[in-house]
Amino acid sequence: MNDALSDEISVEGLPPSVRVYNYEGMDDFSQIMDCHITRLYASLGTFSLQRGDSKWAGCNDDNGGGDDGAIPHLDSHEEDAGGRPCRHSQPLNNRTCQQSSDGSQHNRESLQYEPGSQYIIFIVDPRSFETEFLCRETIRHTRLSYNPFTHILIAKMPVPAHESAIREFDLIMQSSMENAGLRKYLGFWGSATMTAPDGKTKEADGAWGPFRPPPGSPKTPSVVLEVGYSDSPAKTRRSSHWWLDPARYKANVAIGMNLNVKKPEITIDTWEWDPTTCRPKTTKHMVIKRSSRKINFGPNIHDPTIIIPFHQIFRRPRQSNEDKDLVIRTQDLIEFAYRVWNIQFGEME
């Protein structure tokens, strides 16, 4: 992998350990994604890997051997006593999903979660992206972002805790809308694909906006959510900032959420665009932790709530007392954290 590509990946906020592939068609893409999803889920203990289980074999990046190279889907229960390797293309930077040369079971260390392993990078030319990605339905188990200038396609593989956080936060948003009397005026955009004026394409983890924006306002979400699952929030922060840039997407509020891989800890940041500095500014930073069976908010958080101003949501000033800010309460955040951790770490008291 050349230095220029390494620099581009670094700019994207991803660690150098993230695997990079040349795009060689949708079949090859699907096989790579299935292998890495299986591997990622195994490292998180989502299912156990035993010798003779086709999921255990995953892939060893060996283009030879095996039978038909079929890759098991996550919901497959097919047993393969031989542990077939899969026949997808090789990564540009290093080998992945390695299997011992003698076919023995992976050691425990090899199955640990690696920083950035929620992501895979593909080098895709703009024509292929337009014809083979934009024109098909959402690809299973992925969120995509694409830069037509660098040809970098980043595929993010949501894990169960990630998906739980998205769903639970949307429920909190709906409840807060109801409390403020705004529910019928706001819509949930989900992970719809958005293309910015500069041609970059991205899928948020969650997005909300008014059904009827004011005249002259963009008909796009005003509030966007990005959820990361790692030890480092750099990629989540960069993705959140992307939505706020007026030259790109023009969202008004970005919410970044990072789930710690190893312990019950969730970092939440909110940002708005600062026109004086032409940069995003932090409007809230909090860390939700569990210790000694108690929930703690830090650092130095005296008011553990999230407030999204009315004018930022609806892109217009208040006009009556019924125009209220959207408030996510402390108890909402506590219940949210417990629900996500129950999925991530198992039942918690």
What is the residue extent of each domain of the chain? 3-156, 160-345
Distances (CA, A) of 255 to 15, 87, 283, 310: 22, 39, 10, 15
- Give the pLDDT of residue 25: 92
CATH class of 160-345: alpha beta
Q: What is the per-residue pLDDT across 209-223, written as a single tens digit (0 to 9) for each?
A: 999 989 988 888 999
**At residue 258, does pLDDT exceed 90?**
yes
The whole-number average pLDDT for the span 275-289 is 93
- Give the pLDDT of residue 76: 32
3-state secondary structure of 241: helix
**Residue 299, preceding bond cis, omega within 30 degrees?**
yes
Which one-letter amino acid corresponds to residue 237? R
- Give the pLDDT of residue 39: 81
Residue at token pair 């309460």: 329
Q: What stretch of H or E contains 203?
A: strand 201-203
**At residue 107, does pLDDT exceed 50?**
no
The whole-number average pLDDT for the span 93-112 is 42
**At residue 114, does pLDDT exceed 90?**
no
Helix, strand, coil in percent for the chain, rounding step 5: 30, 25, 50
- Give the pLDDT of residue 103: 37
User: Which of 220, 215, 226 lies closest to 197, judged by CA?
Assistant: 220
Q: Mean pLDDT in the chain? A: 78
